[in-house]
Chain A
Amino acid sequence: MSLPVLYLRSRALPRTAAALACTALLAAWAAHWLQAQPHLTHGARVPVLALAPLLASSAIGTSLYAAADELDRTAVRRWWPRRLAHLLALTVPAAAALALAVPGHPEAFGAPGMVRNVLGATGVAAASAALIGARLSWLPMTVYGGAVYLAAPRTPGGAASVWAWPMQPGPQVWAWAVASAAFAAGAVLYAVRGARRERD
């Protein structure tokens, strides 16, 4: 078996890709169902924009687990390009698929907001994998997402676009800045350090 195939299998990437595809399908169905409800508008897609990126980032974060971490670190080749490629190869299709799940009305929890949330959440998950381990990398974003879910003010923009960036409808610049910074920081941290070795 070739090395890339072995790598894909060692990281359970086929299963992760399947989980991401299921997430996108579920998000598309949920967004459609919510908009079909009487008295609800496109803004009702907010749970989809909060939960689908959380699920996608959890799948990506847990896929960063290395079962034989010590063995990996003995390799002659540098790991950071592979780690970065691994992260991007999952994040980009996930963001694209989830963006397609919320078509129309980009200003009201549509595709731009979805892409931003996938990037931000994946960045937090990647950083968590580097700092606390890949298997528990879903926890920080879950806690953060839960904390800002009801706390975010109804009026978008202002300081909330920084501290509650996942709950902004779409075009808020500061929300994009924070999410992009989170993704960049998480990607760099993971690419350089790899996932933290776990004891249990």
Chain B
Amino acid sequence: MTVTEAPVRRKAPGPALRTEVRRGVGPWTGLCTALTLGVTMAAKADQWQGDWIETQSLLHTGATLLACPLAAAAACWQGARDHRRSTDELWRSTPRARWQRMAVAALPLALWAVAGYVVALAGSSAATWPYAGGGGPLLSLVVVDAAALAAMALLGFAVGVLCRWRLAAPVLAVLMYLLLGVPNYSETSTQYLDPAVQYVLWDRLPVWWFAPAMAAWTGGLAVAALTAVAARRRLAALVPLAVAAAVAPLIVSTGDGMFRDDPAAHRIACTEGSPQICLSGHQEHLLPQVTEALSGLTGRLEGLPGAPKRYVDRPPAQHADEARMPTPNVGWYLLRGRLQHKEDFAWQVARQLLDRDCPVHEAGSRSWNRVTGTDIAVAGWLIGSHTAQMTYVPDSPELRRLEAMPDAGRRAWLGRYMSARNSCDASKVPVL
């Protein structure tokens, strides 16, 4: 009788992976990633809290420029573990395949780095959400950042396996920083291959294939490196490398075209009544605050001929019925959803309202100096508050004369002045 042994079923790497995930440098990598991003975000909270674009831009910068090199260094340390422990030969004597061992050791680093990023993202989103008036983070940017972190961890691990130098990990961190950071200084379309490049997302959205393409690019390179180091058939590394190589020309040739106009940012939302205050769709929830901040200015202009009927935070500024106002950005005018520096906001609106944008050759002439003095005095009178006037228009005889006028006479004068508020002909501007 011939007894044939049943083939031994190899155990799935589940228990080994769970052990690797729980122990070693992996959890520390996740903690350090979350800590690095958390400190960065917390220290600059005034500059992003309440605005999804600003929140995600800073998080993207931190994740790619700081956390990616950190993840690569930690993974490099992990990759050299068997060498440090002198357990290379011991592992070779086990039946488990080399790629399986490597994958089980490398994956936890990638997972923990992404987990640290997700914790920072969740914290930042929770901090922004109450003040943002709806919306949420861009999923495609989250995918790109997470893919970059995972890819850097896998690349770092491959370097660690190959390079047994004690300084390999910190040197890799610095090199990664340079590799990811230097393309930001250039303005060629090849910089879009860099996952750390700063995207301008204020009024744009990534196209649908942006995230898959970037993930295929960074992931393809990383998997190719790990396969070349870990797999028995090293030529298999050509498959992920081919994927990365296929995607790269698409990214480079499209370049800035990977971002399309954001309909919400280009939509203008206005208040009812007259004059209208208009902001982009993203900032619609700020309209009551902006209207209140400009109430003094609009109240003083009410009913005057030539006064603008609409205040908009974008060009064209010099439309007869329209005036431009600054965008209430986070970091200066907005702090956790509240409009601040209201007097400066009103002053900027008044200056834009009376902006003449005339040829340079007019400047310096006596008649033009009179017009400039009149413009500043009127802008000071429009913002109303005495303390603000002391700040922006100190010691102006024109302002004193304007304030001393009787109401009816001042309205008549202002009517003539507003009709010529954007004129470059000094003779049309009434004398104050």
Residue positions of A touching B, CB distance < 8 A: 12, 19, 37, 47, 51, 54-55, 58-59, 62, 65, 135-136, 138-139, 142-143, 146-153, 200
- The yes or no answer to B43 lying at the interface (CB within 8 A) is yes
Interface residue from B40, B44, B73 paired with A142 (Cβ < 8 Å): B73
Please count the residue pairs between chain A and chain B whose beta carbons lie under 8 angstroms apart in the complex. Answer: 72
User: Shortest beta-carbon distance, A190 to chain B, in Å?
Assistant: 17
Q: Which bucket holds chain B's interface residue count?
A: 20 to 34
User: Shortest beta-carbon distance, B16 to chain A, in Å?
Assistant: 18
Interface residue from B62, B69, B77, B85 paired with A136 (Cβ < 8 Å): B77
Interface residue from A47, A62, A153 paired with B166 (Cβ < 8 Å): A62
Who on chain A is nearest to B58 by CB? Answer: A150
Who on chain B is nearest to A199 by CB? Answer: B85
Whether the pair A151, B167 counts as a contact (CB closer than 8 A) is no
Enumerate chain B residues within 8 angstroms of A58, measured Cβ to Cβ.
167, 170-171
User: 26 pairs across A/B with beta carbons < 8 Å?
Assistant: A54-B170, A54-B174, A55-B170, A55-B174, A58-B171, A59-B167, A62-B166, A62-B167, A65-B166, A136-B77, A138-B169, A138-B170, A142-B70, A142-B73, A143-B70, A147-B40, A149-B40, A149-B66, A150-B44, A150-B61, A150-B66, A151-B44, A152-B43, A153-B43, A200-B81, A200-B84
Interface residue from B43, B69, B81 paired with A146 (Cβ < 8 Å): B69
Chain B, interface SS category: helix
Enumerate chain A residues within 8 angstroms of B42, measured Cβ to Cβ.
151
Whether the pair B170, A151 counts as a contact (CB closer than 8 A) is no
A167 to B85, CA, bound (A): 37
Chain A, interface SS category: helix
Pick out which of these stretches binds chain A: B31-39, B301-309, B358-366, B387-395: B31-39
A19 to B42, CA, bound (A): 35
- The yes or no answer to B173 lying at the interface (CB within 8 A) is yes
Who on chain A is nearest to B69 by CB? Answer: A146
Chain B stretch 36-87: residues in CB contact (< 8 A) with chain A: 36, 39-40, 42-44, 58, 61-62, 65-67, 69-70, 73-74, 77, 81, 84-85
Whether the pair A148, B39 counts as a contact (CB closer than 8 A) is yes
Q: A55-B171, A143-B70 are in contact. Are A12 and B44 (CB under 8 A)?
A: no
Whether the pair B170, A147 counts as a contact (CB closer than 8 A) is no
User: Shortest beta-carbon distance, A9 to chain B, in Å?
Assistant: 15
A139 to B29, CA, bound (A): 10
